[in-house]
Copies of this chain bind each other. A is one copy, B any other.
Amino acid sequence: MNAQTAKGERTRAAILDEALRLVSKDGLDGLTIGTLAEATGMSKSGLFAHFGSREELLLAVLAHGQAQFSEVVFQPAIAKPRGLPRLRAMFVNWLDWTQSADLPGGCPMIGGAAEFDDKPGAVRDTLASGQRNWVETLKRAARQAIEEGQLSKDADPEQIAFEMFGIALVVHHHRRLLGYRKARERGLAALDSLFKHHAAS
């Protein structure tokens, strides 16, 4: 990469960081070329040159969010031993990811899910495929915990991934809307119950 391309990449990444913070706070509906111009101090025409259209901007910000999620949630977890330690790390990093990624308004993908579940198109498809991938990642880690003899052979990885997703959603919901301070602690307790329920005897 030459110096000019590298600079272009850095600029683009900095814009997308700011865009992701906007989405975290105001939702995907709150992100337009106009709101982003205001937040970054860039001109609308400059932003159009980077992204082409509002839909392209939304897709770019989701790809950026998914890459950050992978970096602060998935990558550190995959470094843990196969099985329960890895599955637990995925969950804990997930609960903490909006803090790790400096997104004070909550998870842009959870917010986006509620906004776009009835709006067919590329944005909805990107959200859905990202979340399906994450479900598959959780299932794979749960299956490995069964193979490692940590969870029962009767345990169902799909049910475990489903229930983990629910716990993460309620932690996010209670924390964001209800200001519930015990959300994280309750979420970890729920995970412990789930693992205990499916523990190998």
Contacts and interface: CB of A to CB of B under 8 A. Distances in A.
Contacts of A196: 197
Contacts of A177: 113, 116-117, 124, 127-128, 131
A129 to B, nearest CB: 10
Contacts of A168: 166
Copies in the complex: 2
Interface residues of A, number: 44
Contacts of A114: 27, 106, 110-111, 113-115
Interface in A91-117: 105-106, 110-111, 113-117
A13 interface: no
Contacts of A165: 170, 173-174
A116 B170 CA distance: 16
Contacts of A113: 114, 173, 176-177
A117 B128 CA distance: 22
Nearest to A170: B166
8 smallest CB-CB distances across A and B, nearest first, come from A166-B170, A166-B166, A114-B114, A117-B176, A169-B169, A113-B177, A111-B114, A117-B177
Interface of A: 25-27, 29, 105-106, 110-111, 113-118, 124, 127-128, 131-132, 135, 158-159, 162-163, 165-171, 173-174, 176-179, 186, 189-190, 193-194, 196-197
Given A159-B190, A163-B166, 18 more contacts: A29-B29, A106-B118, A113-B114, A113-B177, A114-B114, A117-B176, A128-B177, A128-B178, A128-B179, A131-B177, A162-B174, A163-B167, A163-B190, A165-B173, A166-B166, A166-B167, A166-B171, A197-B197
